[in-house]
Amino acid sequence: MSAIVRAGRLTIVDAAGRRQTFESDAPGPAVTVRLNSAILPLKLLARPSLALGEAYMDGSLTIEEGSVGDLLAVLTSGLDALDKMPIERLRAPLARIATRLTANRRARASRNAIHHYDLSNDFYALFLDDDWQYSCAYFCDDCNSLEHAQAAKRSHISRKLMLKDGMQVLDIGCGWGGLALHLATDERARVTGISLSEEQLELARRRAEDAGLSGNASFENRDYRDLEGEFDRIVSVGMFEHVGLASYSTFFRSIEKHLAPDGVALVHSIGRMAPPGGMDPWINKYIFPGGYVPSLSETLSAVERTGLWVADIEILRLHYADTLRHWNDRFQARRAQARDLFDERFCRMWEYYLAACEMMFRSGDLMVFQLQLTRKRDAVPLTRDYLYRPTASTTPSSLAN
């Protein structure tokens, strides 16, 4: 444990009341946890990620000093030491094998989406921004709120898509419709959004109707493998993480098939800066069944087989950590309402999820990448200058709306 605690102080009180403290010279949170089960240390040794999350959810681990976020900050300060533990070195290759054998076929993909995204719109309204953006925001230099950063994200993606009036746009994994409605309004595009979540689609359709955009923004329950037609632009934000490694080639072939000859596509996804890994067992069981965080090598290998050009790659490093911090702050402020919708165990699960993901972006190997894809090598400008010229849609006053 001393090798893992490289920042802050961790005190562990076991089920017999024995106390042990591990402290680093590096600054960090001070945390005290109590293990309320004599068998919990063995579980933590055997499957650290799964056992820790479940112990916090079920109350067999309680925090007497600090918060769950503080605990995870201390533990992730020495992630490389955790990865070198004998049990982890044995488990990691098995997890990678399991990942490669997992295929998210249509029925399974639908079940996975329902598990997470159909929880309740009332629940997601507790912590998302006003535009219902459930993906990494873009914290520009003058972004002073989550709303501002999410507006900057929409604008940044719009620039990369290089839209013109009346273009046909496909939004794969459209969520609650925020990006699609932005493209239909500010960029005057005709957008088709697809999702496997009926809760999301119901709200997206209602938002389009309320905004008078039903003619320019439509939303369908459809799998990306069942698409028809051709689109000038294709965008997918926060959906590629659900595709599954076995379907990467199918996903990018679908983009290539339905993208116009001079079209542009943008894929925004959580990724890892390290070599390919496996699925986190706790996240896979409780939060995103069937989900997988890709490495760039796995992703680009699948793109290369389609003949698409990778016109640009951008890496967002700490943007998602800051997004998750905002979500967690909002969730904590309305935690009692979440408990009324579900129960205390659910609230513990959700706060663990938000805190764990934030720490993996701050101390682990997670990042976000944006791939700009084209069929023609000159479909987009040859330099990035066009992304940073001021426009009416990206001035600070407009982003603050």
Catalytic residues: 357
Cα-based torsion angle of the residue sequence 155, 160, 166, 172 in order, rounded to the nearest 10 degrees: -90
d(CA 240, CA 247): 10
Q: Which of 246, 238, 252, 284 is nearest to 104 (CA)?
A: 246
d(CA 44, CA 48): 4
d(CA 31, CA 33): 7
DSSP 295: B
Alpha-carbon distances of 379 from 161, 304, 371, rounded to whole Å: 10, 17, 14
* Enclosing H/E stretch for 178: helix 178-185
d(CA 369, CA 314): 6
Name beta bridge partners: 21: 11
Sheet containing strand 30-35, edge to edge, reads: 19-23, 9-13, 30-35, 61-65
Q: Which two tokens stand for residue 144?
A: 């002073």
CB atoms within 10 A of CB 249: 15
CA 48 to chain centre: 22
